[in-house]
Chain A
Amino acid sequence: MDRVVLLLSVLSLGVSSQPITDSQHQFSTAVSRVQTLHLLAQSLFSNFESKLPTEDQRQLNKIFLQDFCNSDYIISPIDKHETQRSSVLKLLSISCQLVESWEFPSRFLPGGSALRISPRLSELKTGIQVLKTASQDGAEMFSDSLPLQLAPYGNFYQSLGGDELLRRNYELLACFKKDMHKVETYLTVAKCRLSPEANCTL
C-alpha cells in the first residue's frame, strides 16, 4: 500500500513537472526566434540608412518627428518598473498583438521578403499563442483590448513616389525594429520570471 502511494506520488510529480519543462523549452524557442527577428530588423534598418546620402538622413530624422508607428495603439509598458509589474499573461498577450500587427505590413519592408520576415512572424505568433494558452490555466481570460485596426492605415501602404517612398520605408523599418525589441524584452522578462534558474539569460 505504501509503495503504491509512493509510486503514484512520484508519477504525479513527474507528470506535473512535465509542462514546466515544456514551457521553458517553448519560451526559449520563442525568445530565440524573436531575437533573430530583432537582429534582422536591425540589419535591415542599418542597411537602409547606409544607402542614404548623409544629407537625407538628417532630413529624415527631422521629418520623422511627426510620424508614428502603426502599432502605437497597442499599449505596452515602457519602462522596467512597468514591465515587471505586468503579469506574464499580459506580457504574452501584448507580444502576440505586436507580432500580429506586423504580419501583414512586413511584406512591404524593403528586403523583408528575402529574409522571410512574414513567415517568421507567423511562426512566432503561433509559439506565443501556445505559451498564452499554457499560462492561461486557472488564470483569468485576458481579452485583447483592441482589435487589429487596419482600416485607418489602409492608405498608408499605397505606393508612393520619390521622397514619400523613402520616408515611408524609413518609418517602417524604424517601427519594425522598435517593436521587435519590445517583444524580445517582454518575452525574456516573462521567461525569466517563470524560470527557476538564477541566471536565466545565460
Chain B
Amino acid sequence: MKGLYVAAHSVTFCARMKRDLGLALLLLLSVAAESNSMSPPGKPVLLSCRSPEKETFTCWWKPGSDGGLPTTHRLYYETEKLEGSHECPDYHSAGRNSCFFDRKHTSIWIDYYLTVVASNALGNATSDTFKMDVMEIVKPNAPENVTLQVMKREDNPYLHVRWEQPCGTDTKSGWVTIKYELRVRQENSNEWKEYTSGTQTQFNLYNINPGVMYIVQVRCALDHGSWSEWSNSTSVKMLNYPQKSFWILVSTLSAVPFITAMCILVMKRKYVKLCLLAPIPGPKISGVDVQLLKSGRSEDITNALIINQSFPPMVAWKDETEEYLIVSDDGLLPDPSNSQKRKKSLIIPTGFHLNLEIQCKESTRGQSDWDKVEERKKEIDNFLKSNMSLSVESLSNMEPTQLPNPSNHNGDAESTVWPLANAGYVDIQRHESTQEVDVKEVDYSRVTEVNGDSILILQKEKVSGYMDVQRQEDNIPEDYSRVKEVAGENTVLLQRQNVSADSSCREKGNQYTDCTNPKPRNPHVTGSSKVGVCTQLTCSGYVDTIPANL
C-alpha cells in the first residue's frame, strides 16, 4: 500500500519537475535569443537622390537595424509611365545602400515613387515612399581643373581664372544649360567675394593687389537648378612690382638737386642775367658827352657838335635865285671864232673840260678891262702850272693845250685846260691887282661852272667888294657861288645864288647865322659899304662864307 502511495506521489512529482524544467528551459532560450538581437530588420530610410547631368540618377538610403541577422535591402520604384513595381537596376555602381539608375531607366518630368525593403530571416521592413522627379534632383559635380593665371598688363594686372565644365554634362546638344559662379578671398581674410560668370568657362579678376595670395573657388548649376559644391581651392600669389617703387625713389632723389639748382638760379638771377645776357655797349661819339646832351643847354650842344667854329663872317646873299652853271662836256676848246665870247676855262676834272662862258659886252668894257682879264688869266695859268707840277705823276697825260689864239686879244678867249690833280685843290692866289679899290680885295674864288663829279672851275676875279660889279649881264647873275654840295673828294657843287638883300638869315637852332648887313644891290657901291656876313649852316652842312670886312 505504502508502495503505491509512494509511486503515485513520485509520478506527480516528476511531471511537475518536467514542466518546470521546460519552462526554465524556455526562459533560458528566450533570454539567450534576446541577447543575440535577432529580429526582423528595422525600417530603412531613403535619404536622397541626385542626378549629376539630368541623364542618370542615384538614390541613397539608410538601413535600419538589421536584427542581428543578415539583412538585405531592396529598392522598388514605380512611375507614372510604367506598370507595376520595378526593382533597382544597379545596386553596386554607386556604393553601398544605393541604387543607380542609368539612362535607360531614367525619365524626366515624371514622378518616381521609391521604396526600400529590408528583410532578414525574421521579417521585413519597408521604408516610407519617397516621391521624386528627376528634374528636381539635378545637382552637377563641381567644375574641374580650375587654373589661375596672373596676367601682367601696364599698371593694371589682373587674374585670369579658367576651368572646365564637369564631366558628363552635355551642353553641346543643348540638353542642359550650365551657369557658373566663383568666389575669391584673400589669404588672410575670411570674406569671400562672389562673381557670376554666366556660361563662360573663364573669368577675369581685376582690382587685385600685388604681394597678396588669392584663393578662388568655382561652382556650377544646371538649368537653374541646385548649385554644385565649390571646387577645390586654387590659389595664386601676385608678385610685387619692384620697378614702380624703384622708379619713385629715383625720381624723388633726382628731384632734390634739381630743386636746389632752381633755388640757386632764382636767388642769383641778377648775376645769371648778367652772365648770360651781357649788355651791349651803346654808341659813343668822341667829344660828345651824352650827359651834356641830356642836360639840354643849347650852346653847349652846338659847341660840342660844331668842331670848327672859326667861320669867317659871311656876306649876306642877295637875290637867292639858284642858277646852275652850264657845263658842257666836250673836249674841244671853245670856238675862238666867236669874237663875242670870251671864254675862260679853268681846269679841272680828270678829263673833262669846262668852258666858261663869259659874255661880256665888249662895249661895256674898256680896253683896260680886257687887259686886266688877260693878265689875270695868265696869272691863273701860271699858278695852275706851278701847282700842277706837284702832282704831275698822278695826272693823266693831258697837257695843257693852248688855245691857238694868241693873237686874239680882243674878245678871244684863251682857254687853258688843265687837268686837275686828284687832290682837287685849287688855290688861287690873291691877285695883287694894281687897281686900287676901296673895297678890300676879297680873296675868293668863284666857281663858275660845274660839270660832273669833280669839276671845279674857279675864276678869280678881282672885284671891288664882293660884287661882280663888272658884269652887266643879267643873264649872268652876280655874285657868289654857293657851294651847294660837296660831292666826293674832288667836287664841290656850286650853285649860283643871288641872295636877297633883305635876307637876314638868322636862323634858329643849329644854324649859326649872323648877318650883319644886307647886301647892297648897287654894284657900284664902293667904299664903306658894310657887308653883312651870313654864315649859314644848313642841314646839308656846308658852309658858305664870303667874308666881307669892310
- A binding-site residues for B, Cβ under 8 Å: 35, 38-39, 42, 61, 64-65, 76, 78-81, 83-84, 178, 181-182, 184-185, 188-193, 198-202
Contact = CB atoms under 8 A, between A and B. Distances in A.
Q: Which 7 A-B pairs have the closest CB atoms?
A: A192-B174, A188-B174, A78-B107, A189-B174, A201-B171, A202-B199, A201-B177
Contacts of B170: 80
Given A80-B170, A192-B173, A202 B200 contact: yes
Given A181-B223, A201-B174, 16 more contacts: A61-B131, A65-B111, A65-B131, A78-B108, A78-B109, A78-B110, A81-B103, A84-B175, A178-B109, A181-B135, A185-B223, A192-B172, A193-B173, A193-B174, A199-B172, A201-B199
The CB with the most chain B CB atoms within 10 A, among A78, A79, A178, A200, is that of A79
7 contacts: A78-B109, A79-B108, A80-B54, A81-B103, A185-B108, A185-B175, A202-B200
B54 A201 contact: no
Nearest to A186: B174
A182 B134 CA distance: 12
A78 B174 CA distance: 15
B374 interface: no
A39 B201 CA distance: 22
B224 A38 contact: yes
Given A79-B103, A79-B108, A178-B135, A189 B173 contact: yes
Contacts of B103: 79-81
B223 A184 contact: yes
Interface of B: 54-55, 81, 103, 106-111, 113, 129, 131, 133, 135, 170-178, 199-201, 223-224
Contacts of B200: 202
A181 B174 contact: no
A64 B136 CA distance: 15
Contacts of A80: 54-55, 103, 170, 175
Contacts of B129: 65
B171 A202 contact: yes
Contacts of B223: 38, 181, 184-185
A76 B129 CA distance: 26
Nearest to A38: B224
A15 to B, nearest CB: 28
Nearest to B53: A80
A187 to B, nearest CB: 9
A32 to B, nearest CB: 11
B225 to A, nearest CB: 9
A64 to B, nearest CB: 8
B133 A191 contact: no
